[in-house]
A and B are shown apart, each in its own frame.
Chain A
């Protein structure tokens, strides 16, 4: 026999009421939405400026001409584009082999040894190095010893910035290779190097490539390390029939920096155009790294 009429306590309502807690919730959610949108504005503003001001100045001339002097019209950043590719290439040639070799040691050959732990900590610390100090270092090591500003000096500075990224991402990539796959290789009688070459590297390659490309994108955009290592140049690197490597070299980043402070409209427009090209390069490399990075297992 049910006796609902004898219930003396009131049943609490399970419905929502717009009071203190709920109101606070709505306000906070609005705040978080608004701040996410506000944080997105700079990206769109930058892209907008690049496309409108940079795009306006982008033509074949911009890619093929040398930088204009003060009151000149026209001109381009052709040599700066070449210089960027050249120096990033030098940096990659240094940082990628050393980085991957070191990552192999950290991931496979001696993962828990004291040497590995110290090196890992060193690499992590290097990721926080201000880029200008990489430039100071390359200045001391290369410019002072060779007596000249040069492309290799710039390349070394960029390599210092790329190396920790390559090492740490490659190590992670190799650690992701399933242990059972490595066990199979050991079980077949592979030496450690064979396990690395035949199984770990090929299997982890997509993720390693992603890391490498991110490092390259970072290096391409850096200015500070190049300011007093490669300086700048208004000439092509291939100059009067010779490859002028051991002399100041232009780069997109330094061009943008130099021109941004000039009172001439022509230079400013070129700075925007160069920025557009630089950002395009960085974005394309980022996107490609993501496509390439699909794992194979």
Chain B
């Protein structure tokens, strides 16, 4: 290793080489810092290993049948998570459609010169506050505000369009739609924030070129700005989807926890996260094996979506830098 630069001792010189203590501290601090990084990697490995490892007994007993089974009955030892997978994907999709629309709209609203800076800051704060509200509070609000509020609409839709599979049942309380609506509100901040970044990184030259050609405000936005930011906005949607897939509490409180597969927006449903939240606390050892398996499935789905989202964002940022 490096030896200290040996200097002829000059008694009244202020300059001193670092002391042995300094070097020791330097070495150990750098080692600790490296340890911190290794710990993060170890955490990810441990996460996958622990859940995977504990899922093996469940997988061995039920195999891939659990992925296609539709019955969850502890007493009969029948465990099927297809309804949960269905509910997870369906609710996330609807949340993405609604949250995506409002989120991108908000991003355009905040970045395309619709507001003076002060007002824009107000709306930006509103979006940040929406993100700060805990999931369980959204669940509580969903039960007592959203469900009663949408019931008239859902009854009307069921009455008028009941022949469509989407509106084929009545909303008795918790169900897919209220859950998806609240979920949409929860992923809106993510989509809005990432889309804002994407729109802001469109180079000034592009913006000026568009306006310089005499486009109207909206032509510039829809034909130039949004397409330039398309990759980033797409990444925002994927990240929003990832968040929606992993969201637990609001769904556990609003989705109805019913293991059925239905296209109806008003029917109660279930999601993987809600399934875990509801069954884990009271589960016996045999059920836990199965729940670990379900946890593994959830981890896999969210991991894949989040990794794809990160890769898209990395690709978008590299494109913006060119």
Are chains A and B touching in the complex at the 8 Å CB cutoff? yes
A residues neighboring B (CB under 8 Å)? 21-22, 24-25, 28-29, 31-33, 35-36, 38-40, 42-43, 45-46, 49-50, 97-106, 109-110, 115-116, 118-119, 121-126, 128-133, 135-137, 139-141, 160, 163-164, 167, 189, 191-194, 196-197, 217, 220-224, 227-228, 231, 253, 256-257, 260-261, 271-272, 275, 278-279, 282-283, 286
**B109 within 8 Å of A by Cβ?**
yes
Pick the contact of B33: A105, A126, A141, A228 (CB < 8 A): A105
Across the interface, which residues of B come within 8 angstroms of A28, CB to CB? 218, 222
A49 to B128, CA, bound (A): 19
Q: Which of B231-272 contact A (CB under 8 A)?
A: 239, 242-243, 245-249, 252-253
The segment from B37-45, B59-67, B70-78, B194-202 found at the interface with A is B37-45
A39 close to B102 (CB less than 8 A): yes
A40 close to B276 (CB less than 8 A): no
* Chain B 33-58 near chain A by CB (<8 Å), digits 1 or 0: 11111111101101100110010000
The 6 tightest CB contacts between A and B, nearest first, are: A221-B134, A130-B246, A101-B36, A128-B306, A102-B36, A191-B26
B246 close to A43 (CB less than 8 A): no
The segment from B159-167, B205-213, B296-304 found at the interface with A is B296-304
B302 close to A279 (CB less than 8 A): no
B residues neighboring A (CB under 8 Å)? 18, 22-23, 25-26, 29-30, 32-41, 43-44, 46-47, 50-51, 54, 101-102, 105-106, 108-109, 114, 123, 126-130, 132-141, 143-145, 185, 188, 216-219, 222, 239, 242-243, 245-249, 252-253, 273, 276-277, 280-281, 291-292, 295, 298-299, 302-303, 305-307, 309-310
B102 close to A133 (CB less than 8 A): no
Give min CB distance, B120 to chain A, whole Å. 10
B44 close to A101 (CB less than 8 A): no
B126 close to A43 (CB less than 8 A): yes
B136 close to A128 (CB less than 8 A): no
Chain B residue nearest to A123 in the complex (CB): B40
Across the interface, which residues of A come within 8 angstroms of B305, CB to CB? 128
Main SS class of interface, B: helix
A125 close to B30 (CB less than 8 A): no
Main SS class of interface, A: helix
Give min CB distance, B223 to chain A, whole Å. 12
Beyond A279-B133, A286-B128, is A124–B310 a contact (Cβ under 8 Å)?
yes
Chain A residue nearest to B189 in the complex (CB): A39
A141 close to B109 (CB less than 8 A): no
Chain A residue nearest to B144 in the complex (CB): A49
New A-B contacts (15) at CB < 8 Å, excluding given A102-B40, A163-B40, A227-B277:
A35-B102, A43-B129, A101-B32, A105-B36, A109-B34, A122-B41, A122-B43, A123-B40, A130-B246, A130-B273, A133-B302, A136-B276, A140-B292, A193-B26, A193-B30
Beyond A32-B109, A109-B33, A131-B248, is A260–B253 a contact (Cβ under 8 Å)?
yes
A256 close to B136 (CB less than 8 A): yes
B281 close to A227 (CB less than 8 A): yes
A130 close to B46 (CB less than 8 A): no
Interface pairs (5), CB distance under 8 Å: A39-B102, A116-B37, A128-B305, A167-B40, A260-B253
Across the interface, which residues of A come within 8 angstroms of B242, CB to CB? 128
A294 to B170, CA, bound (A): 52
A25 to B221, CA, bound (A): 10
Beyond A32-B105, A35-B102, A40-B126, is A160–B43 a contact (Cβ under 8 Å)?
yes
Across the interface, which residues of A come within 8 angstroms of B299, CB to CB? 129-130, 133
B302 close to A130 (CB less than 8 A): yes
Across the interface, which residues of A come within 8 angstroms of B126, CB to CB? 39-40, 43
A137 close to B136 (CB less than 8 A): no
Across the interface, which residues of B come within 8 angstroms of A118, CB to CB? 41
Pick the contact of B280: A103, A116, A124, A228 (CB < 8 A): A228
A275 to B245, CA, bound (A): 24
Highest count of chain A CB atoms <10 Å: which of B109, B243, B245, B307 = B109
Highest count of chain B CB atoms <10 Å: which of A29, A32, A136, A231 = A136
Across the interface, which residues of B come within 8 angstroms of A101, CB to CB? 32-33, 35-37
Pick the contact of B30: A109, A141, A253 (CB < 8 A): A109
Chain B residue nearest to A98 in the complex (CB): B36
A160 to B48, CA, bound (A): 13
Beyond A128-B246, A130-B246, A191-B26, is A22–B216 a contact (Cβ under 8 Å)?
yes
